[in-house]
Amino acid sequence: MKILKIFIIIFLFIGFPQSKSDEKNNELKSKILKNIRCLICQGQSVYDSESDFASSIKLIVDKKINKDVSEEQIYEFLKEKYGDWIIYEPELNKKTYILWLLPLLLFLFGGAIIYKTIFKKKNE
Amino acid sequence: MKNNFILFTIIMSISFCFIVFYKGLNNSNTYIPSISDTKNIPIFEAKDFNSNAYLNSEKIFEEDIFYIVNIWASWCVPCRTEHPLLMRLSKNQSIKLIGLNYRDNLNNAKDFINEFGNPYSQIIIDNDGTLSVEFGAYGVPETFLIDKNKNIIRKFVGPINQEIADKIKLIIK
């Protein structure tokens, strides 16, 4: 009985942190895979796809996470192979600044028109 | 005057949208980024198709010549259509063809080679598709042209045709 208790304690000490790190890795894996576009599918992320391409990417991401490669490095690796398009969330750089700034500009422009209209009406 | 301007703006906007969407209809659904800057071949280790021995990329691409890496599989129908062109390309002395057998059954792959001929100087196995990802491939068939400096200079997604084969010949001349 005593031996059994010792075994349980050892198991908890060894097994628990491992399962916790596995859980963390799985969460990170899901997060990354949801942010990667399946390039041969229509409107699907690698996470949602069962295509050969997606399963290869899943394996690569899994291997890299197990080797303690960071999320950023995984994205960089994939971008180097397939270009920025593979990532759903584009970075702010000289190629994408219009994409990021246009909604803001349109919002300001629209706001200015609304403000001007209301201000003009009030004056009248 | 004001109404005419509004009408004109609406018509112009609708026309613009129509042109954009009409042009989009003719585009391919798959976006393939062009290779703007040349990339080095990946460093890898892979199983040899015939001997099952592990080979590294340095050994595979050791000669100072052009190489073609062709991703193929026995289950891939377009691979059959491009195979005669690969057979013709393999006769060219200034180029070596490396076959990358993608997610395939080894016996079926061997039957394929026996039936259609072997254009490859070396065939390596990619059982899980991860090696193809290292090359930046989407699937099968896909072909990469590698120059003497071991840079990937062209990528052809889908089966190669006569036009592509001519282009390759022109580059390696």
CA distance B136 to chain A (A): 5
Q: Is the pLDDT of residue B28 over 80?
A: no
Q: Are B133 and A63 a contacting pair at CB < 8 A?
A: no
Total domains present in chain B: 1
Q: Is B94 inside any structural domain?
A: yes
| CATH code where residue B131 lies | 3.40.30.10
Task: Measure the CA–CA gap between B100 and B122, rounded to whole angstroms.
Answer: 9
> Does B32 map to a domain?
no
Task: Tell me if A85 and B103 make a contact (CB, 8 A cut-off).
Answer: no
Residues of chain A with Cβ-Cβ distance to B139 below 8 Å are: 40, 52-53
Q: What pLDDT, on a 0 to 100 scale, did the predictor assign at position A17?
A: 56
ipTM of the complex: 0.77
Is the CB of A56 less than 8 angstroms away from the CB of B31?
A: no
Give the per-residue pLDDT at B165: 94
User: CB-based contact (8 Å) between A39 and chain B?
Assistant: yes
**CA B100 vs CA B58, B68, B141: distances in Å:** 16, 10, 10
In a domain, B2, yes or no: no
The pLDDT of residue B39 is 81
The secondary element (H helix, E strand) that includes residue B96 is: strand B95-102
pLDDT at B30 over 60: no
Predicted local confidence at residue B169, as pLDDT: 93
> Residue B164: pLDDT above 90?
yes
Chain A positions in Cβ-Cβ contact with residue B29 (cut-off 8 Å): 42
**B33 interaction partners in chain A (CB closer than 8 Å):** 82-85
HEC string of chain A equals: CHHHHHHHHHHHHHHHHHHHHHHHHHHHHHHHHHCEECCCCCCCECCCCCCHHHHHHHHHHHHHHHCCCCHHHHHHHHHHHHCHHHECCCCCCCCCHHHHHHHHHHHHHHHHHHHHHHHHHHHC
Least confidently predicted of A62-71, B29-38, B120-129: B29-38
pTM of the full structure: 0.76
Cis peptide bond upstream of B141, omega within 30:
yes
* Residue B84 lies in domain: 39-172
Rounded to a whole number, what is the distance in angstroms from the first to the last CA of chain A? 92
Q: Which CATH class is domain A19-89?
A: mainly alpha
**Residue B126 bridge partners (DSSP):** B102
Q: Name the pLDDT band for B88 (thresholds 50, 70, 90).
A: very high
A57 interfacial to chain B (CB closer than 8 Å): yes
Question: What is the residue-level pLDDT of chain A in tens, covering all 124 positions?
Answer: 677 777 676 655 565 556 667 888 899 999 999 999 999 998 899 999 999 999 999 999 999 999 999 999 999 999 999 988 899 987 777 777 888 899 999 999 999 999 988 888 877 7
- Ramachandran assignment for A83, one of left (phi > 0), alpha (psi -120 to 50 degrees), beta (any other): left
What's the start-to-end Cα distance of chain B, in Å? 65
Residue A80 with chain B: CB contacts under 8 Å: 39
B133 touches chain A (CB under 8 A): yes
Q: Is B8 on the interface with A (CB under 8 A)?
A: no
